[in-house]
Structures are given as C-alpha cells and as structure tokens.
Structure 1
C-alpha cells in the first residue's frame, strides 16, 4: 500500500534532494556523519546519488532482475574533491531517476527487492531514502530539518512494511520481534490521527493506525517520532517522551533493521 500519489513521490525525490544539497553546501565533506559513523558527508552524498541512479536504471531498463551496482552508469560519483561537481552529480541523478519514474508511471512491472514488483515501489522508496538521509546530513551539519506531516507519516508506514518484510524473509534480528501480549504505541502529538499500534504476536508482529493503551508508548512531534523510529535520534530527544516499558522500545529499535 502507498498513501501518496506517484507524482507526489517523484516531486519529493527532487525536493528532498535539493534540501540535502542545501544542507551540505559549504560544509566540510570529510566530516563524519554521527548517525552513519562509517561515512563522511561525501560518502553520504555518494550513497544517496548512487541509490537514485540504481533505482533509475532499474526503471529505465524495465529490469526483471537485480542490476549489479557496477553495471549502473556513473554510480560512484565524480572523481576528485570538487564540491560543485558532487552537487551537480547528485542533482542530475535525482532528475534522471524522476524522469524515468514519470515516464514509466506507477504500474510498470520491474524488479524490486521487496513485496511490490512495480515502479510505484521505487518512487516511494527513493523518496523516503532521501528523506531519512537528508536527516543524516542535517544532523551532521546542524541545519534545520522539517518534513511535512503526510510524508513523515508515510515514512513510518513504509518502515513498518520494510521491517515486516525482513521478518518474513527470515532476518534473524527482525525474527525476534514477536511474543504475545506486548505492544508499542507511536503517538504524534501535533498531527491528528498520526498514531500506530504495533502488536507482538507469537510468530510475528502486526500494526494498525489506532489510539490504544500499550506496553510502551513513544509520543511527541511527528517529525521527531519518525526520526527516532528510524533510529536517527534517541527516543528521549527532540521533545519525545517514553511512557511505560522502555526496555521493549529499545528491544524494537535494536532489532528493526534494513535487511
């Protein structure tokens, strides 16, 4: 399920990329990224730009199987240390991917690594990939970070789908997110109806939009809630508060991973 329109996701890829570019303009590209400590700012930009080009190549070629990274044109970023060249490369990659997504529309069959084998998946995934990594750039550079409510909420929805898919595929950490009688409530205090109830079953977990008492609740502004749920900040930062069993929340955060 996707909650936003295909064209909206395409628009957000461009908007979020431009905001990421603004966050790193003038910054020291050798500086480490606290939320991705193995990366410099330049590594972060190259990761995002490479992901854009990889998804764009899958859509452009109507790939029926995964395309190896080394077969994606210009995916490694420009040589040298020119910030202007890196900025132009990032912008060009996002624009090319969005052009391919718009031309294909949402329903063209293509390979994906997940539950949905059509281009709509890549539009949504690249929008949220850029949303979250823009947060990494903002946190590294001390720049302002804001996300509109419907996009922030959809980022949480997609992340829940990714973790559930990882669990179904046998990821050993996600497999531990089970055990009946426990639940986690996410409650955005600034956006009506932006609430999620995650319930641990004996074999897996399920979730739904609901306001109900849970074993533990994480509540606060929606953008901050999204950042904490994506492990970009601690659950007690950014005006967030934890009510109930903090160990269960930490258990979830420690075991919800990307692949």
Structure 2
C-alpha cells in the first residue's frame, strides 16, 4: 500500500512514533507555564493537554470504527491539572493511540476528515498534528527545529486532501447564503520544483500536482518546509505572485 510519497501506513506510524517521542521529550521537563507563541493564549501545559486529548479522541474513533465524528469535548475534559500527571497522561495516551493504530486494519471503515473514510488516514493525521505542535513546543523553548522533506511533502498533500474537508474550513470556503471563495491557488516549492494547484469554489475543493504555475490566480512560492508551515499558519506566505487578496482570504478560511 505504498504511496507516491514513500509513506504508507507503516511509514506514517513510524514517523508518528518519532514525532510523538520528540514532543514528549520536549515538554516533559519544561515549565508548563511557558507561553507558546504559535498558539496565542496557550502555554506548554495547554499544548500538552490538547495533544493528549487529541490522541485519546483519535484512539477512540479508530478503536470503535465510528462512522461519525465523536465529540471532542469529553476527551478535553479529562486533561489533568498537575504538571507531573499531565506528562504521564500525555505519554500513556500516545502509547495507547500507537498500539491501536498498529493493531488496526488500515482498510477498516471509520470517520476521517477527508473523503477516504478508512483507518489508513489516522496515522497520517496524527503525524502532522504531532509534527506541527512539536515545532510549536520547540519554538517556545527556543530549541532548534528541522522538518524532514518527505514529511513536509506528505503534510502539504494531507492538508489539501483531508483538512480542507474540516467542517469549520468547509463552512468558510462555502458559506450558506454567501459568495464562496473562488479562484485558483498554486503552491510552488522553489527547492524541489514541485507544484500543487487548488481549485476553489466547488463543493469539494480539488487539488492536483501540476507542472506550471501559469494558470494560478495566486501563487505562493517558497521552500517545501515553508509551504507546509504556511498551510498551518506558522509562517506568512513566503512569496506571493498574483492576487494577494486570494491568499489572504484563503488564510482566513483555513485557520483552525
């Protein structure tokens, strides 16, 4: 079940295990009151709580094979207040998630953000959750960061293929009774030559790899890692050609 990116179910699981391990190591001995600049209003304690609750929510989703999204609030309510308890709780939740994913048939039907409603999507989703928030934690602690090119590439396509179907983003892209966001957004990786085209304004925003930026109403040009971080609103658009208004509207619509 290999993908063109070289990451399959096992590859996503392996990368997830590494990303979660790095995140836990970062926050384990850190002051939970340390502010997280990338997530205004959060400190490391809140970040750890969010990750831990997300792991438990995703694990319950996969384990139950739910065809509909489980409410997240019940899992968020379980976050412990004591810093030492929080670290253990985070680690236990991550281990439970990994164990469930490792023992689950990737083809098992289950709710996901995208149209592909199989368990195969969950290691990928949790990988990028861990990578992005791991970068947030590292920035908060002034630790060096690095994004693997394969992970960045996979993350760009995961965002375009799955996260664009997030209910909040869908409501903003296609608001009831209002004009939908329309146009063609192109993401161009200056360091690898890869190009992605996103066609907006349809009930299901479509994306595909292309070989030219010529037809884009707006082109965001940057390194592969920069494009990944731009999609997750961790950096501003590196370079914009064409319509800056379309890029600004896209950014507002896709903020979570």
Corresponding residue to 1:77 among 73, 76, 79:
79
**Helix, strand or coil: the match of 1:32?**
coil
Does the alignment pair 1:102 with 2:102?
yes
Summarize the Cα distance change of 1:25–1:254 in structure 2 as closer, same or farther, 3 Å threshold: same
Q: Which runs of 5+ in 2 are unaligned?
A: none
Residue in structure 2 matched with residue 226 of structure 1 by the alignment? 228
| Alpha-carbon distance in structure 2 between the residues aligned to 1:177 and 1:107 | 34
TM-score (norm 2): 0.83
What is the RMSD computed on CA atoms of the aligned residues?
2.8
Q: Which residue of 2 aligns with 1:22?
A: 25
2:250 equivalent in structure 1: 252
The 5-angstrom pairing of residues 5-16 of structure 1 reads: 5-16=8-19
Question: What is the CA-CA distance between 1:192 and the residue it aligns to?
Answer: 4.1
- CA shift for structure 1 position 75: 7.2
Q: Does the 8 Å CA contact 1:177/1:252 hold for their aligned counterparts?
A: no
Asked whether the 8 Å contact 1:33–1:137 carries over to 2, the reply is yes
The answer to whether the Cα contact below 8 Å between 1:6 and 1:105 also exists between their aligned partners in 2 is no
Q: Is the contact made by 2:185 and 2:217 (CA closer than 8 Å) also made in structure 1?
A: yes
The 1:162–1:75 alpha-carbon spacing in structure 2 relative to 1, beyond 3 Å, is: same
Q: Is the 8 A contact 1:231 1:253 kept in 2?
A: yes
Matching residue of 2:206: 206
Matches of 1:251 and 1:144, distance apart in 2: 31
1:58 aligns with 2:61: yes
Look up the SS of the partner of 1:231 in the other structure.
Answer: coil
Per the alignment, residue 187 of structure 1 pairs with 188
Looking at structure 2, the residues matched to 227 and 25 of structure 1 have their Cα atoms a distance apart, in angstroms, of 25
Q: Does structure 2 retain, via aligned residues, the 8 Å contact 1:198–1:205?
A: yes
Alignment of 1:231-242 (within 5 A): 231-235=233-237, 240-242=238-240
Q: Report the alpha carbon displacement of residue 68 of structure 1 after superposing the two structures with TM.
A: 4.3
Is the CA contact (8 Å cut-off) linking 2:17 and 2:98 kept in structure 1? yes
- How many angstroms does 1:253 deviate by? 0.7
Distance apart, 1:91 and its partner CA? 2.3
SS of aligned partner of 2:155: helix
In structure 2, C-alpha distance between the alignment counterparts of 1:75 and 1:191, rounded to whole Å = 43
Note the residue ranges of structure 1 that are not aligned, 5 or more in a row: none
**8 Å Cα contact 2:189/2:221 also seen in 1:** yes
* Maintained 8 Å contact 2:173/2:201: no
Q: Bigger CA drift: 212-221 or 245-254?
A: 212-221
- Cα-to-partner distance string for 1:68-102 (whole Å, 9 max, x where unaligned): 44765x973344132xx433322222121111111
**How many residues get paired?**
247
Per-residue deviation at 1:15? 0.9
SS at match of 2:40: strand
Residue equivalent to 2:140: 140
